[in-house]
Structure 1
Amino acid sequence: MMSMKRAFHTTAQVCGRARPKHVKFDAPKLRPPVPPTVKNLKVPEDHPLWQFFSDKKYLRPFSDLENTGRAWTVQELRRKSFDDLHTLWYVCLKERNILLRESQIYKTLAGPQAESNDRYKTISEEIRNTMWRIRHVLAERHRAWVNGMSELKNSYNEIAQEFEARYLSADAGRDVEMEAQLERFQYMMFGLNPMLAGNEANENVLRGLKKAATLRLKRFGSDQTEVDTVNDINEAFVLFTADHSPEGIADAIKTIKQYRAAGKGVSKDQEMSVLRDLVAESEKLLE
């Protein structure tokens, strides 16, 4: 049985907060402030923002800009390769970024008279002329390529027939030469590289693969009649990757016979998917 007893409550006393003891602290010691300075900052040597500074200078004097040369002419740029033009474009872009940063700083320091004597802006405009001329040269090449492709389409049959006659009539002693000519022909007409790896899976490459396989079959397999046509992309791939010789094509014909005897085949609407797989497998083999 629970006993009951009358008494005063002591909860408040028990739960009450005790007064904290007084702790005496020593007087704080103040150190002299550290003035902000560039020397206190450690910037890594490979920091990407260094690309916006010329030789890590905050602002180049005008004397450093005297030997900057001139803008490239269109005639000079026409002699350059695509890789050279691509490299030159980004060199110009990088230099313009540096100059525009310096121009903004110069305007801040020089005030209103900076506009009439901004050497940084003047050189930046010269570089801009070079970049404009690079685009002009690339546009010229693109137009020439478009016109050339248009003419090639109009004379495709004539060129293909002429090459086929020359390729098939060449004697056996010119097999190596004819292989090189076939590679140039398939690349010129279809954009098909000798190695399947690196090619884009598109209709043009698919046509080129079948055309090259058919020419190989006609040159080295004309003495047999069991395999006289290329039925699908798998058969074309076997002939395309075979050695450019009677023995290589003979082995490819045996493989095609086994392939047909097994009742295998690829429909027209599935050939593009198969081509992508073949290109991917070829690229893995080169890794």
Structure 2
Amino acid sequence: MVIESPVWRLTKDSREEAKQVTSVYQRTRAASCRIPASRTRGQRQDAEQYVEGHSIDVFCLTLSLMESNATTSGDTVRDIFGDEEIKVVLTIKLGEPLNDVRAVHKQPHSLSLRSTVGYAVLLAKVDAIVSAQEGISWPEKDMYRKPGTNTKQREFVKLSAESFDTQVVQAWRNPQRRKVALADFSLLLFAHAVKIHNSIRRATAARINEASVRIREHLAATDEPPLAPNSLALRYFATQHAREPDGTQPTVPEHATYRQLCSVDEARREMAQEQQAEQRRLDRRFRTVES
């Protein structure tokens, strides 16, 4: 049984070397399975030791390739990653940056970034992800990088357009990642968002009554046209105002619904006046007939 040594077939191209190492490893495994059962015990042991030795060589070469891959020549993102896309893992935390924040909004998000683009494209992608989340906002628009696996949050590094290329290179050069293949590398990013508190209140009967009083006082103080206590417009106005946060100044609605309700109230008022006038006329006639 003859197995070619992988040392003589390796090239300087790390990609080609990786393919050849994989091929040699597969042939080594296949050869270990083809040792004839007719061989003597000593021959089988010799063959198995030979295969095992080459398997160790392949394993060492694989680690060597990973080591050389982690120290790829070049000082820019494009030099290191070439045509490969950079994998980014984004975690949205709820709290102030550079603090011990434990609250995390949902699960981390995975995205990719081409090495030919920079900070602006990454910021746009992260902003789109955060903006799509309900109940949170991202006012600062700052991204932070986690330099190492065990790095504390106060040691996170803020990304910027000026330092983006350097930061990504440093993340790749980090000693904790030197045994990670380039294809398995991920840039760990964090965006610190804040929760949007719902300020809308329930329009209960008590709050509507309180709002009605405030609205009538406000209209009287600002010389606005008054609203009758049982008018539809006041009811609508008070219901809307009851949902607003406490302390909010009443603002007269300007949309069509409120104007239509005011018109309906006016028509009802005119109709009531006509009915009252007709009732008074009938009452006078009735008294005349009685006399």
Q: TM-score range by the shorter chain?
A: under 0.3
In the superposition, the TM-score normalised over structure 2's length comes to 0.23
Q: Which structure shows the higher helix fraction?
A: 1
In the superposition, the TM-score normalised over structure 1's length comes to 0.24
* Structure number with higher relative contact order (C-alpha < 8 Å, ≥ 6 residues apart): 2
Q: Which structure shows the higher strand fraction?
A: 2
